[in-house]
Amino acid sequence: MRGLLLTAVVFLPLSLAVPGIGVELEQGTGIPDLSGWCMLDWLTPCTSGLSWLDADGLTLTTAQVPPRSAYELELKLIPYDSLLIFLESPEGVGHVLLYLDGERVGRFPLQRGAWWIKLSHLPPQGVFRLELDRYCRDLTIRGVYFPCRTAFPMADCTQAFRNGLVAGIISTAVVFWLVYLITR
């Protein structure tokens, strides 16, 4: 009985945890600084409601009937804990709602012109959803970006190449020397 009580005390708070509680949200206006960010492919997410993709980005338009227009992204498909969403709207009416596994984690008023939302500390799994409220008419997602990460800096690549080249030359010389000794 004591073990069962201890298990309940330990695991009950974990089961009641709210998804997305650790997600940090940041908003800004204008064109974001995209240095260090790479654009996510448009084939990764899915959309609901009315949307179309063109040279400007993915435009969501509010429909008169459900479902609401939204952009959804399965987080396990992207190995990053941050996203930067670059948006543009012709009007400043309505709100953008952000959900993580069905729980609302953010609500931002629409900004006229270019603006952005940055999400940090995303969980490794779950569904992220950006949804238009019923008052928002049009919203263009100009791009969704993730932090660019390289395995190692370019200087390390150059050094690794040089080390490999030297090792290759030495091993080739040793093999030729051994072949020479054997055939002699």
Show the 3-state SS of the chain: CHHHHHHHHHHHHHHCCCCCCCCEEEEEECCCCCCCEEECCCCCCEEECEEEEECCEEEEECCCCCCCCEEEEEHHHCCCCCEEEEEEECCCCCEEEEEECCEEEEEEECCCEEEEEEEECCCCCCEEEEEECCCCCEEEEEEEEEECCCCCCHHHHHHHHHHHHHHHHHHHHHHHHHHHHHHC
Highest mean pLDDT out of 4-13, 152-161, 164-173: 164-173
Identify the pLDDT of residue 145: 95
How confident is the model over 40-57, as a mean pLDDT? Answer: 90
Task: Catalogue all structural domains in the chain, each as residue range(s) with its CATH number.
Answer: 18-147 (2.60.120.260)
The yes-or-no verdict on residue 38 having pLDDT over 80 is yes
pLDDT digits (tens, 9 = 90+) for 20-34: 458 999 999 999 999
In tens, the pLDDT along 141-158 reads 999 999 987 544 455 567
Question: What would the pLDDT profile of 73-110 be if each residue is shown by its tens digit?
Answer: 999 988 889 999 999 999 888 999 999 999 999 999 99
